[in-house]
Amino acid sequence: MKTVSLITATVSVFLFACAQKPKLAAKPESAPMPKTALAANPVMTDRSADLENARLKIQSLIAEAFRPVYFPFDKYDLSQKSRDLLSQAGDLMKREPSIKVTIEGNTDERGTEDYNLALGQRRAAVVKEYLASYGIGIPRLNLISYGAEKPVQHGHDEQSWALNRRDEFKVTF
């Protein structure tokens, strides 16, 4: 519940700060504004700091809620750990209807290109289905399969393969 209040407050501060831009008096072109004018104006400095803090807070909440989901070899079932991670994403999306997500399905390098693309698609689809079960509208959930095209760990061993069998998320508003 604290996360919801924090998100709502952060978004509200961000939106208020964007909507309430101070008006600066126009100066003749022959007298350019000194470079120190923003530093001398505490309203501008405070507003900039508020916007930056709001942006960082939102990025942190998104990074926490949309962590990669990993899969066993040749599987696309969600483990309990994956469901727990996805519940955070589902909760955040329910509370923030402007969030849209692209779910990116990935595989390790083993298998043919066509097989890996299909497996990556099934992995992204199961995550999409899980998030939709939270009441998230399907238009807010896109998916794409990269198969083995985007490994995060280059290597030909189980540790590398395990890190590459994942779904990742790209969040937009």
The answer on 58 and 72 residing in a single domain is: no
The answer on 36 and 86 residing in a single domain is: no
The answer on 111 and 45 residing in a single domain is: no
**Which domain covers residue 144, as residue numbers?**
68-172
Q: What is the pLDDT of residues 19-72, one digit of tens each?
A: 444 444 444 444 454 444 445 555 556 888 898 998 899 999 999 999 999 999
The answer on 133 and 72 residing in a single domain is: yes
Answer yes or no: are the C-beta atoms of 127 and 78 closer than 8 Å: yes
pLDDT band at 11 (very low <50, low <70, confident <90, very high): very low
Helix (H) or strand (E) holding 171: strand 166-172
The answer on 95 and 162 residing in a single domain is: yes
The answer on 74 and 154 residing in a single domain is: yes
Q: Report, in angstroms and rounded to the nearest whole number, the Rg of the chain calculated over CA atoms.
A: 22
CA gap 62, 169 in Å, rounded:
10
The answer on 109 and 45 residing in a single domain is: no
Total domains, the chain: 2
The answer on 122 and 55 residing in a single domain is: no
Percentage above 90 pLDDT, the chain: 68
The answer on 136 and 51 residing in a single domain is: no
- Between 35 and 73, the more confident residue is 73
How many CB atoms lie under 10 A from the CB of residue 153? 12
Helices (H), the chain: 2-19, 37-40, 42-65, 80-95, 113-132, 158-164
Q: Dihedral angle at the C-alpha atoms of 99, 15, 88, 69, nearest 10 degrees?
A: 50
Q: What is the pLDDT of residues 146-159, one digit of tens each?
A: 999 999 999 999 99
